[in-house]
Each structure stands twice: as C-alpha cells, then as structure tokens.
Amino acid sequence: MTSRILMHVGPSIGNYDVLSAAVQPNIGFASPEFNSAMKDSLDGFRYVTGSDSSYTPFILPGSGTVAMESVISFIPRGSRILVVSNGVFGDRWEAIFSRYPLEIKVLKAEAGKAVPLEDIDREVSSGKYYAVAMTQVETSTGVRLDVASVAKAVRKHVELVIVDGVASIGGEAMKASQWGIDVCLTASQKAMGAQAGAGLLVASPTAMEKLRGESISGYFADLRNWSDIMNKFLAGGGGYFATPPIGTVFSIQKSVDLIRTETMEARVRRHEICSQAFRAGIEHLGLEVLASEKLRSNTVTGVIVGGINIADFLQRCIKRGVEFGAGVHPAVKDRYFRVGHMGWVQPAHIVAALNTIESALGEMGKKVEAGSALAASEIFSRHSGI
Ligand code: PMP
C-alpha cells in the first residue's frame, strides 16, 4: 500500500526521523543512552513551552489524559476549581475533577465559540477558586483560547493556572513563565509530532510547592512519585518509579532536537501559514469553518459540510490517500469533520488535503468551487521559506 497522509487531529503527519528514533536495539531504561534521551526531552519540553529553569518538566508513560489527571497531585481536598470548557476536551477536565473530592464549576461555550474573557474574569474574581483549568486548542472544534489573556486576568485570584495544551503545544505559542501559567501539558503524539506513549507537563515552583501537602491523587499519576526521578534525569542521572515509554522518549528527543533547529518562533509561523492557507482553500470551496473567525487555531480546523454522509466522505478521502478525523462535538457531530495540520505539516500536505476534499465532494455530487489548492497556494507564495 502506498503511504497515506495522516491529517487526523493527532497523531498527525509523521516525520520519518522522529518516528524511527523510537526503534532502538537493546536499550534499557537504566542505560546512559536512555538517561540522556530523557534529559534532552525534558530540557527540550521546557523550551517548547517557554518555561524557564525554575519549572519542573515531567514525562509520564501514557497520554495526554494521564498528564491531565496528574494535575490532581497539586490540588488539596475540597478545593474549588473553575473549568473553562469550549467543547469535548474542556469537558474532560470536568470528568476528571469530578472523580475527586473537589468542588467544580464549569463555564461552557457553544460549538465553535470560546467562553468570553469577561465571563471568566467575573466568575474568578469572586475570589473563591483555588485553580482555573482551560484548554488552549479545543480539538473538538478547532477553537483557540487566548490563554495568555485568561492567565493574566485570573492570575491574581487563584493559586494555580492550568492549561491543557494537548492539541496546541508545539504548534501554537506557549510562554508558560512569561504568561504566568503554572501547569501546562501535552501528549507526545500531537503537535510535538513524536510517537504516542507519553504525557508531558511542566510545573511552576508554585505548583511544585503544593506537592508537599496531603495528596488526594491516585497512585500512578501522583507526581510525588515522579518528581525526584525527573530531577535526577535533569541532572544527567536516572531513576525508576514505573517503566518509562522508552521508544517514545527517543522519539521526543529527536522531535525537540528538530524543533530547536527550526526554532519555536518559525515553527509556530509555519503552522499559522499552513492553517491560514488550508482555511482559504476551504472557504474557496464554499464550505464553512466551524470556529468563529477570531478563534481559529494553527493546529486543528473543523469543516462543516451540509447534505452529505460524513463517514462516507472520510472513507473516500482515505481511498485517495488522505485521512482526516470525524466530528466529535455532539452539537454538530454529523455535519463536520476535523483536520489536523500540526507537527510536521508542510504546504504540500495542505495542497494535497484540499485536492482530496474537493475531488471526494465532487464524486459525491456536492457542488463546490474548483481550484481550492490554488487559493491556498496564493497564500504560500506570499510567505516563501516556511
Ligand atoms: N486534551 C485535548 C485538547 C486533546 O485533543 C486530547 C486528545 N485528543 C486530549 C486532551 C486527550 O489526550 P490523549 O488522547 O493523548 O489522552
């Protein structure tokens, strides 16, 4: 079979060097090679998240959800938590927090929209919240929350500002130290573009201080079990609490090496231009982008298409060699699909994706304006060198 272009919302578009770095002959987790892969990955993750050396990075076996659940380690029993939810993954914070002895309030946005800053500000300035948890890019809709502004507004009212950056970190700007974010997290397979298998987070000194208190966390994801080990890796040594995702860590090491070479600034710019070009093509086709205009992310686009069977459409795209994601937001589930343009995305992927969408829709009898790839190419030609 010829290789497929994977433009799902993560994993998305692979990089051979990054994916193949996961295959190492006979390397154990106590080896010097693994210790340095962990050190490079932890240091690199601080770079990707704009965290200074006072932040403690963690790499845990699992996925983004493990990193989310590990946040419980920082929160005392009975705390009040404000969740800002712009969709299905914002709701996941609620699902996690509600398993623990905490009081939760959730502010929710409609599909394609974000909870307004004023609403968050009003709620949090009541002064009763211990933490605010939010999602930088809501993967169910492609909405990007301006986490810098939210953090600025809530910072003085709460102990901890927590950001799920699973669909954004590595493709959107994240400046944890500068923006006053205590905890931000992701998964290896998303915009970091590495093999699946790890959850990653960074924690500010304020957050780390909270680990001294009583824990309401479960056993595996209690960061009290992991923090000494992470510090040992950072110092060039090693340690064990539970088996790390060995291959994935080598893949992350390669990914952060390439990210440093490209620089985060250039990487975010590349994502921005590719996403703009993709949306230009989608609008040229006469289709609608789910996220409101000012809220569109660099990494995920939800595309609304009326009058067709989306599952059938996605299969036709796969036959043409490009895989996209189905819709998951309950309010619009059967009327849209999701496209991931993250990690190692290049202009050629965008052009191929648009051609595929255009021809699959044409085959299904949907009237669309031809030439979407050309609309995208016009944007690329204005930004050479990405
Ligand atoms: N948060 C967001 C924003 C996500 O996109 C995802 C994955 N789609 C998750 C959390 C959960 O991550 P994982 O599937 O790696 O556990």
What's the CATH number where 307 sits? 3.90.1150.10
C-alpha 368 – ligand 1 centre gap (Å): 33
Contacts of 182 (CB under 8 A, 6+ apart): 74, 160, 161, 162, 176, 203, 204, 206, 207
CB burial readout 190-212, b (16+ within 10 A) else e: bbbbbbbbbbbbbbbeebbebbe
Query: Could you tell me if 242 and 294 lie in one domain?
Result: no
Binding pocket residue ranges, ligand 1, CB within 6 Å: 63-65, 89, 92, 135, 139, 164, 166-167, 187
C-alpha 187 – ligand 1 centre gap (Å): 7
Query: Could you tell me if 185 and 103 lie in one domain?
Result: yes
Integer Cα distance of 8 and 31 in angstroms: 35
Is cis: bond before 11, omega within 30 of 0? yes
Q: What are the tokens at 329?
A: 């937001």
Contacts of 181 (CB under 8 A, 6+ apart): 147, 151, 161, 162, 163, 174, 204
DSSP secondary structure letter of residue 157? T
Q: Is the pLDDT of residue 228 over 80?
A: yes
Q: Is the pLDDT of residue 385 over 90?
A: no
Q: What mean pLDDT comes out for the span 369-382?
A: 89
Dump pLDDT digits (tens) for 90-117: 999 999 999 999 999 999 999 999 999 9
Last residue of a domain, one of 243, 262, 281: 262
What's the pLDDT score for residue 142?
98
Domain count, the chain: 2
DSSP secondary structure letter of residue 213? S
CATH of the domain at 234: 3.40.640.10
The mean of the pLDDT values for the chain is 96
pTM of the model: 0.97
Integer Cα distance of 234 and 140 in angstroms: 35
What's the pLDDT score for residue 374?
87
Largest CA distance in the chain: 62
What domain range is 169 assigned to?
16-262
For residue 308, give the amino acid letter: I
Q: Is the pLDDT of residue 386 over 90?
A: no
Query: Could you tell me if 258 and 269 lie in one domain?
Result: no
Residue 204: pLDDT band with limits 50, 70, 90: very high
Last residue of a domain, one of 262, 287, 314: 262
Lateral strand order in the sheet of 56-61: 56-61, 198-203, 183-187, 160-164, 131-135, 80-85, 103-108
Three-state DSSP at 227 gives helix
Q: Percent of the chain having pLDDT more than 70?
A: 99
What's the pLDDT score for residue 220?
98
Query: Could you tell me if 116 and 37 lie in one domain?
Result: yes
- At residue 173, φ and ψ (nearest 5 deg) are -65, 135
Query: Could you tell me if 211 and 233 lie in one domain?
Result: yes
Last residue of a domain, one of 244, 262, 280: 262
C-alpha 148 – ligand 1 centre gap (Å): 21
Q: What mean pLDDT comes out for the span 282-299?
A: 97
Q: Which atom of ligand 1 is nearest to the CA of 65?
A: 16
| Phi-psi label, residue 62: left if phi above 0, alpha if psi -120 to 50, beta otherwise | left
C-alpha 60 – ligand 1 centre gap (Å): 15
Looking at the DSSP assignment, which residues form a beta bridge with residue 201?
58, 185
Helix ranges (DSSP H) in 49-183: 64-70, 88-97, 117-124, 147-154, 176-179
